[in-house]
Homo-oligomer: A and B are copies of this chain.
Amino acid sequence: MLIVMRKDATPEQIGGVTAAVEARGLKAHPIPGAQRTAIGITGNKDALDAPAFESLPGVLEVFRISHAYKLVSREAKPEDTVVNIGGVAIGGRRLALVAGPCAVESREQILTVARRVKEAGAHLLRGGAFKPRTSPYSFQGLGEEGLRLLAEAREETGLPVVTEAVDVEGVDLVEKYADAIQIGARNMQNFSLLRRAGRAKKPVILKRGMSATLEEFLMSAEYILAEGNYQVVLCERGVRTFSDFSRNTLDLAVVPAVKKISHLPILVDPSHGTGRREKVSPLSRAAAAVGADGLMIEVHHDPDRALSDGPQSITPEMFASLVREIAQIAGVVGRAV
């Protein structure tokens, strides 16, 4: 932390701040400048709350200069983490393609979509059994029955299964049936859920919250790692802005930003990130080009009849065509599909 004093701060005020710092067991390093004095603070184990010193006499501003993340940082682990989901590596040379319907709706639907995305080149099957919906009157998913259908689709296609858990009980069930546990954007700071996921035996895909900073996103991952589960995959799915033409604003710059700070792999979900079918393919290509470790895409064989988020789902044909484009772009960035 760094405390910047006012130009007219007296030696007594500077001494008062130094004393306040030392009273907390920290070390103060005054840096006299031409116009004003700054005071560096060392010795703090945690990120201190900057404002604590702001009300001391003579203080102009206080800057927090350390971050609280530890286990997720590249300083803690310089090499990239590769997460294994049912035999599929996320974060290695191959881009991971996760595809499937927003929600599991029926045996026929999930089996149809699973077969079609498998044929088209998907590596993992997605599909929601527990759906967080803005309205209590919307379809909320098939629950455990949905999980059973996903497991059946895996038996038939060989695709490992990724599905969301929305509460602690749900993690028990997802852990039992699926290959990876997804934590949705609305639950990114549901810390009880994060801790439970941190004790799970399966990998976790953590989606970025709608207004989460990078620091908050990484700190939520830190919750999972801190409980002992190091198999964490991040996922960008768009942030909330004033946009008048897309449901969310897909923030692709977060991919190189995560890569610089953290060793964890990161996927991009262009379906939720845009909310519109015609934008899914362009933004998927962009995500591959920006360096994401994979894509998470909603595919439905009959999107106009989908019970949930149909308008942002693409058809299996569109997905197959997209996989071919992604394969070419992957080559440009030294990857493959």
Binding site for B on A (CB under 8 A): 2, 4, 6-8, 29, 31-34, 38, 40, 42-43, 46-47, 49-52, 54-55, 60-61, 63, 65-66, 68, 70, 75, 132-138, 166-168, 170, 186-187, 189-193, 195, 210-211, 213-216, 219, 222-223, 226, 239-246, 249-257, 260, 273-279, 282-283, 285-291, 304, 309-312, 325, 328-329, 331-333
Contact = CB atoms under 8 A, between A and B. Distances in A.
B311 A282 contact: no
Contacts of A309: 49
Contacts of A46: 135, 137-138
Contacts of A253: 243, 245-246, 249-250, 273-274, 279, 282-283
Given A245-B253, A289-B288, A65 B187 contact: no
Please give the count of copies of this chain that the complex contains.
4
Given A63-B2, A66-B4, A279-B253, A242 B245 contact: no
Summarize A's interface: helix, strand, loop or mixed: mixed
A134 B67 CA distance: 11
20 contacts: A2-B38, A2-B63, A2-B65, A31-B31, A33-B42, A46-B135, A46-B138, A52-B304, A54-B276, A54-B311, A170-B192, A186-B189, A186-B191, A242-B242, A246-B257, A285-B290, A286-B287, A286-B289, A288-B289, A289-B329
